[in-house]
């Protein structure tokens, strides 16, 4: 099940709870990726609220929204950088993205393995992706009224197993939304303090969101025929010299 893009946009722009969630997720993403200068950053699902901090430094910033969800123009100012795409077929060349954010995308996808294949194709060798999904054990996944109660929630182990089977290797974990998913004034006022306390205690099991950074693995086939993973395939060629010249006086066939 997919939420409509209008509902997602309303939550993040028109509710205090959505604005708090946006701020908390942005802070965690900035901690994971403090420098994206010269890189291409792509978002999939409804990642628009989390892409803005990277726009100033990134060479390119794009937001892809699945057809089942719908699309809205983004950002509000300047040229449009969002596009409506098929969920598992993106109009981008292989190796296009250096960094990729998946939010409100994996948990609602009917074919998660196919989506992960497409993410792998679009990422550059050694590229990084952050998956942001509801925490299976949290209040946010069980409480209706927020986008995080829709779709299939994950635990860290379930998410790691899902991506590892599709040629990704987990790199780092993060979490966000330790405060209750309530629109009441008391909880809204207390949310920043609770969020800081949750981050300080690293109580990830209590967080509303599971955030997992993963790296694209590229496989090479050595002469033995066994498969070996290489994080930077360019280094495989290091040290190779130029082809040896042909012996003098011998003509080619």
Q: What is the pLDDT of residues 83-108, one digit of tens each?
A: 999 999 999 999 999 999 999 999 99
**Token output for 37:** 């200068």
Distances (CA, A) of 6 to 2, 12, 24: 12, 10, 21
Q: Go through the domains of the chain in sequence order and give each one's CATH number.
A: 5-233 (3.40.50.150)
The owner of tokens 């009441």 is 184
Q: How many CA atoms lie within 13 A of 51 on its CB side?
A: 29
Determine the Cα–Cα distance for residues 195 and 203; give it in Å rounded to an integer: 10
pLDDT of 148-203, one tens digit each? 999 999 999 999 999 999 999 999 999 999 999 999 999 999 999 999 999 999 88
pLDDT at 219 over 80: no
**pLDDT, averaged across the chain:** 88
User: Who has greater pLDDT, 101 or 206?
Assistant: 101
For Cα atoms 107, 2, 139, give the angle at the middle one, nearest 5 degrees.
55
The whole-number pLDDT of residue 232 equals 52
Bond preceding residue 7 cis, omega within 30 of 0: no
Q: Are 147 and 104 in contact (CB under 8 A)?
A: yes
For the cut 90, the answer to whether the pLDDT of residue 228 exceeds it is no
Nearest to 97 by CA among 142, 133, 127, 57: 127
């Amino acid at each position: 099940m997919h939420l409509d893009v209008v509902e997602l946009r309303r939550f993040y722009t028109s509710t205090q709870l959505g604005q708090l969630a946006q701020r908390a997720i942005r802070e965690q993403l900035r901690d994971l990726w403090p420098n994206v200068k010269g890189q291409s950053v792509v978002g999939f699902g409804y990642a628009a609220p989390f892409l803005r901090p990277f726009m100033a430094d990134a060479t390119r910033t794009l937001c892809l929204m699945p057809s089942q969800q719908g699309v809205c123009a983004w950002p509000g100012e300047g040229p449009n950088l969002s596009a409506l795409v098929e969920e598992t077929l993106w109009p981008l060349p292989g190796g296009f993205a250096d960094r990729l954010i998946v939010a409100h995308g994996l948990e609602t996808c009917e074919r998660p393995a196919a989506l992960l294949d497409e993410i792998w194709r679009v990422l550059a060798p050694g590229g990084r992706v952050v998956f942001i999904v509801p925490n299976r054990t949290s209040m946010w996944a069980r409480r209706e009224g927020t986008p995080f109660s829709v779709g299939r929630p994950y635990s860290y182990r379930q998410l790691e197993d899902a991506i590892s089977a599709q040629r990704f290797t987990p790199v780092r974990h993060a979490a966000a939304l330790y405060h209750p998913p309530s629109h009441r004034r008391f909880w809204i006022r207390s949310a920043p303090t609770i969020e800081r306390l949750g981050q300080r205690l690293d109580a990830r099991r209590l967080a509303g969101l599971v955030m997992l950074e993963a790296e694209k693995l590229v496989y090479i086939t050595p002469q033995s025929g066994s498969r070996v993973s290489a994080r930077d395939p360019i280094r495989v060629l290091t040290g190779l010299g130029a082809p040896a010249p042909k012996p003098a006086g011998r003509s080619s066939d």
